[in-house]
């Protein structure tokens, strides 16, 4: 089973579910990565290597929704060291501006190296001669170099879906050089924003000692590596068509009715993660009610918090904090049948999300730091009547493109309250003007355009630069 396109990611694009008849089956995952890559896989008849979750060993390759999938097993020790440990206890907080404190453990690093090696070996085994391998995200940053050593004939791309930090933060990593060299195994490294690409090139120059020019790195073996921004997007037409469908329209009406038909529905949809700023935004909304600017008869905040990394202690603590906050706000400010916050700790299929997007007048996306945030773009894609308002953190990658949103600093509670109130009070003419411009951006720069741009640029990175480059100095 050899493939001309191999996708390598920490997770497979499907989750295990129990079918109505009790047999096990697979359902496409809700994550942004899957939404983005699935169309590329189909167009190129690719194979996806990833972990299906859990500790089952010996799972055979299979097809789901027409995608060829190769499951990689992980032991409990690997899940704790590679996934919960180094990926989400070290890299995730470090790359998200230290919103939480990263931990540095040698055992976690060893597990990370081991898992990356197994994924690289599997990709080397499955890729046909001269194939393209596209490696994804922070859990797999050593794979490009490991794969390069095993299969120098391959064209290798890497894409980082989360922010890449400035040198001041990245330098804290005891294994900073190994990660940089791991990424340099790729021919092209894609980032969400220009700043991430510039941070990477600067670090390579300072820490590894390679010669660089603008977005290019010149390696002593003659290879050229390019580091460039490719802001990720969504299947805008797919979301719009779903939002226009009769069942979704009906469900959106049901949602508003169930909420008591308030004048305005505020909506937040996030993974339950400390980077998403859920606690601060609910506080800001509750203060607007307590101050008398909003009334629970007129406004309700629906917050969907999708369960995430529930084995990690920090995430369990966050869930408890938000549960308590919602209880306190509703106890203090709600009335019978009129809670201030309608809180849902669950994940939903795309159709239900589209119905929520259609039902909401104000979408609130206020992470402390986010690579892109596809929820903001999904909301815009679903607002085909050019209605609705988007309140967006300036620290989400999406803020670079969706300039017509009400942009906020999520650390500034008063500023957030002002933006929420402005969005609430904005007239139809104002919201239409803003939404129309954002819809144009999202429609023109969809996921297909993102993938095409990445793949085309990957194909054009020169194989050899022919420059005299001294070997890198050791640091």
Q: What is the pLDDT of residues 19-39, one digit of tens each?
A: 788 787 887 775 556 766 777
Are 225 and 254 found together in one domain?
no
The answer to the question of residue 465 being in a domain is no
pLDDT at 380: 98
pLDDT at 469 over 60: no
pLDDT grade for 309, boundaries at 50, 70 and 90: confident
- Could you give the angle at the alpha carbon of 200 between the alpha carbons of 192 and 139, nearest 5°? 65
Are 181 and 281 found together in one domain?
no
pLDDT at 475: 44
- Confirm if 375 and 279 have CB atoms less than 8 A apart: no
pLDDT at 290: 98
pLDDT at 282 over 60: yes
Are 240 and 228 found together in one domain?
no
Nearest to 390 by CA among 405, 409, 377: 405
pLDDT at 45: 77
The answer to the question of residue 81 being in a domain is yes
The answer to the question of residue 107 being in a domain is yes
Are 176 and 240 found together in one domain?
no
Domain count, the chain: 2
Are 431 and 413 found together in one domain?
yes
Per-residue pLDDT tens digits for 392-427: 999 999 999 999 999 999 999 999 999 999 999 999
pLDDT at 193: 97
d(CA 119, CA 143): 7
Are 25 and 93 found together in one domain?
yes
pLDDT at 472: 47
CATH number at residue 383: 3.40.50.2000
| pTM higher than the cut 0.75 | yes
The answer to the question of residue 439 being in a domain is yes
Per-residue pLDDT tens digits for 213-247: 999 999 999 999 999 999 999 989 999 999 999 99
Which range marks the domain in which residue 156 is found? 3-232+451-460
The answer to the question of residue 470 being in a domain is no
- Confirm if 91 and 142 have CB atoms less than 8 A apart: no
Are 423 and 281 found together in one domain?
yes
Tokens of 378: 């999904």
| Largest CA-CA distance found in the chain, in angstroms, rounded | 75
The answer to the question of residue 323 being in a domain is yes
The answer to the question of residue 469 being in a domain is no
Are 240 and 379 found together in one domain?
yes
The answer to the question of residue 473 being in a domain is no
- Could you give the angle at the alpha carbon of 388 between the alpha carbons of 261 and 324, nearest 5°? 60
Are 261 and 371 found together in one domain?
yes
pLDDT at 140: 98
Per-residue pLDDT tens digits for 326-381: 999 999 999 999 999 999 999 898 899 999 999 999 999 999 999 999 999 999 99
Are 46 and 131 found together in one domain?
yes
Are 107 and 194 found together in one domain?
yes
Are 191 and 273 found together in one domain?
no
């Amino acid at each position: 089973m050899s493939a001309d396109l191999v996708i390598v990611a920490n997770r497979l694009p499907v989750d295990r579910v129990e079918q109505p008849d009790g047999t096990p089956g697979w359902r496409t995952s809700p994550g942004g990565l899957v939404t983005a890559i699935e169309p590329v896989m189909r167009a190129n008849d690719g194979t996806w290597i990833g972990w299906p979750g859990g500790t089952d060993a010996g799972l055979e390759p299979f097809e789901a929704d027409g995608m060829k999938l190769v499951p990689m097993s992980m032991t409990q020790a690997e899940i704790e060291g590679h996934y919960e440990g180094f990926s989400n206890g070290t890299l995730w907080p470090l790359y998200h501006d230290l919103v939480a404190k990263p931990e540095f453990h040698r055992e976690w690093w060893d597990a990370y190296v081991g898992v990356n090696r197994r994924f690289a070996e599997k990709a080397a085994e499955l890729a046909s001669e001269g194939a393209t391998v596209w490696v994804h995200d922070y859990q797999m940053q050593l794979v490009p170099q490991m794969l390069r050593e095993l299969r120098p004939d391959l064209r290798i791309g890497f894409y980082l879906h989360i922010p890449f930090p400035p040198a001041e933060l990245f330098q804290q990593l005891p294994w900073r050089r190994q990660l940089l060299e791991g990424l340099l195994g790729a021919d092209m490294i894609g980032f969400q924003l220009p700043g991430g690409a510039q941070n990477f090139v600067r670090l390579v120059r300072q820490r590894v000692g390679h010669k660089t020019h603008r977005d290019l790195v010149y390696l002593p073996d003659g290879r050229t590596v390019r580091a460039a921004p490719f802001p990720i997007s969504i299947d805008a037409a797919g979301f719009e068509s779903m939002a226009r469908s009769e069942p979704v329209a009906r469900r959106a009406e049901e949602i508003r009715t169930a909420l008591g038909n308030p004048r305005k529905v505020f909506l937040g949809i996030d993974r339950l993660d400390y980077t998403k700023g859920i606690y601060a935004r609910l506080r800001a909304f509750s203060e607007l009610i307590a101050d008398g600017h909003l009334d629970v008869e007129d406004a309700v905040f629906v917050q969907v918090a999708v369960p995430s990394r529930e084995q990690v202690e920090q995430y369990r603590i966050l869930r408890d904090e938000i549960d308590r906050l919602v209880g306190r706000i509703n106890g203090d400010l709600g009335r019978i049948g009129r809670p201030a916050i309608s809180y849902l700790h669950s994940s939903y299929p795309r159709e239900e999300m589209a119905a929520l997007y259609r039902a909401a007048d104000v979408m609130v996306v206020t992470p402390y730091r986010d690579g892109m945030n596809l929820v903001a773009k999904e909301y815009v894609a679903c607002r085909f009547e050019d209605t609705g308002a988007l309140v967006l953190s300036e620290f989400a990658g999406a803020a670079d493109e969706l300039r017509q949103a009400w942009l906020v600093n999520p650390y500034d509670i008063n500023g957030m309250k002002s933006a929420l109130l402005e969005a609430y009070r904005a007239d139809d003419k104002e919201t239409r003007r803003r939404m129309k411009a954002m819809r144009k951006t999202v429609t023109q720069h969809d996921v297909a355009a993102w993938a095409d741009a990445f793949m085309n640029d990957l194909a054009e990175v020169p194989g050899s630069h022919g420059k005299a480059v001294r070997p890198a100095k050791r640091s």
